[in-house]
Amino acid sequence: MRIETTKGGEQLAVSRNVSETGLLIATGTRLEVGAPIKITYREEREDKEEHSVEGRIVRFDRNEDDPVGLWPYMVAVEFSKPPSE
C-alpha cells in the first residue's frame, strides 16, 4: 500500500491488521500522531483497481518484530469514515 501525509509525502507501507474503524501498518518512515493520512491500496493481488481511504494517525511505535529492517515503525490509523466495502 501507499501512504501519503502532508509532511512526509508518499511512502510504502504494509498492512498488519484492519477493522471497520482503522488499520495497523508497518512503515519505514517516522510519522506524527494526529497527522492526517491517505492510504491507497488494492484488496487482492489480482485486483487492478486501487482504493483510497483517509484517516489520522492515532499511535506511532517502534516495530519490535523488525527494529532495524525495512519496516521499523508501527502506525495505527483511525479512518475518517469506514471504507465502503
Place of cell 508518499: 10
Domain count, the chain: 1
Residue at 74 is within a domain: yes
Asked if residue 8 is part of any domain, the answer here is yes
What is the per-residue pLDDT for 6? 81
| Amino acid letter, residue 38 | K
17 CB-near residues (< 8 Å, 6+ apart): 23, 24
Residue keyed to cell 497527522:
35
With respect to residue 23, please indicate whether it lies within any of the assigned structural domains: yes
**pLDDT greater at residue 26 or residue 42:** 26
CATH, residue 37 = 2.40.10.220
Q: Is residue 84 part of a domain?
A: no
Percentage of residues in the chain having pLDDT higher than 70: 94
Question: pTM of this prediction?
Answer: 0.86
Continuous segment of H or E residues that includes residue 38: strand 36-41
> Is residue 39 in some structural domain?
yes
Question: What integer pLDDT is reported at residue 81 of this predicted model?
Answer: 87
Q: For 46-67, how does the pLDDT look when each residue is reduced to its tens digit (9 = 90+)?
A: 767 888 999 999 999 999 999 8
Question: Is the pLDDT assigned to residue 75 strictly greater than 70?
Answer: yes
